[in-house]
Structure 1
Amino acid sequence: MKNTDPIIVTQLLKAPIKTVWKAITELEQMRQWYFPNIPDFRLEVSFETRFLVQNEGRDFTHIWKIKEVIPHKLIGYSWNFEEYSGEGYSTFELTEKSDVTELTLKSYVIEAFPADLPEFKRESGQAGWEYLIQKSLPDYLAKQNG
């Protein structure tokens, strides 16, 4: 499935931009709200990490490669899966708005993933990103500030 329109999820977060940046780029924080089994993560262009996520008996070995970093503003990385064809690209962009930070996630399909798996349907991707950006991350930040 390849769709030229990216999935876009925007969220206002009640935290300073530096706090949000750390939450989306520091390994220990990312494990709290994003993926608990990320083995390593460094803010370096060309850094690559891989980790296994299993769903309904299927393996999805995530492979992320950092492509762009603008500190406190934007991080972008490609992602694919060892077991399946296809490639995606996601950016996290931060904008400071007085006492809140706006996070805009954009997720693109660069090369089509298998159309026969529910995990690769657009609706599944949309729901996953909405959960992470609009629920998991804000809840994590609220606990940090509370």
Structure 2
Amino acid sequence: MEAQPFVIEHTMDAPADKVWEAITDKDEMKQWYFDLAEFKPEVGYKFEFTGGSEDKTYLHKCEVLEVERGAKLSHTWTYDGYSGYSIVSWLLTPYGKATRVKLIHTGLETFPKEKDFARESFSQGWNYIVGKSLPDFLEKAG
């Protein structure tokens, strides 16, 4: 069976430049996403953060791969001490005064066959982040 990327799309009630700031400014990110010590939307920039389930947290190690200011941010997504390599891409498309956000997470099948790395776990996390946490933050910041 061919590996399928996880994809979620959601229209945010905010202009693309506001959404871009939310996904690239570490101070804004910690309010809706993860608390990063540092982050720069620059190709080659390496960053890490801790996140996971109620049962266990994991050190995520990432590197920015692609940046198109206001339109696209892609970075690796790996876990310290675990096999697997994936890529997360945020694609922003202006849609009138709103922005269509498309998140694509490829490589999920490369992670260990454990509950926290299951596709359903990623689906729950990304649906919450893209479908609730980010739009709620943008509305509050709005």
Q: Tell me which interval the TM-score lies in, with the shorter structure as reference length.
A: over 0.9
Does residue 15 of the first structure (1) align with residue 14 of the second (2)? yes
Query: SS of 1:4's equivalent?
Result: coil
Query: SS of 2:29's equivalent?
Result: helix
- Specify every segment of 5 or more residues in structure 1 that has no aligned partner in the other structure, as ranges: none
Partner of 2:116: 119
Distance 1:3 1:24, change over 3 A: farther
Report the residue type matching 2:48 in the other structure.
Answer: R
Residue 33 of structure 1: CA displacement?
0.4
Query: SS of 1:138's equivalent?
Result: helix
Report the residue type matching 1:31 in the other structure.
Answer: K
Kept after mapping to 1: 8 A contact 2:51/2:59: yes
Determine which of 52, 55, 60 is the counterpart of 2:53.
Answer: 55
Residue 47 of structure 1: CA displacement?
0.3
Distance 1:110 1:67, change over 3 A: farther
Give me the TM-score of the superposition, normalised by structure 1.
0.91
Determine which of 76, 80, 83 is the counterpart of 1:82.
Answer: 80
Partner of 1:24: 23
Percent identity over the alignment is 32
Shifted more, 64-73 versus 106-115: the winner is 106-115
Query: SS of 2:60's equivalent?
Result: strand
Relative to total residues, which structure has the larger strand share, 1 or 2?
1
Residue 58 of structure 1: CA displacement?
3.1
Give the Cα separation in 2 of the matches to 1:137 and 1:54. Answer: 18
Per-residue CA deviation, residues 42-97 of structure 1 (Å, 9 max, x unaligned), is: 01101001122353453411001000000000000001011211111010000011
Query: SS of 1:9's equivalent?
Result: strand
Does residue 131 of the first structure (1) align with residue 128 of the second (2)? yes
- Stretches of 4+ aligned residues off by more than 2 angstroms: 51-59
- Specify every segment of 5 or more residues in structure 2 that has no aligned partner in the other structure, as ranges: none
Aligned Cα root-mean-square deviation (Å): 1.6
Kept after mapping to 2: 8 A contact 1:88/1:109: yes
Give the Cα separation in 2 of the matches to 1:135 and 1:127. Answer: 11
Partner of 1:142: 139
Partner of 1:6: 5
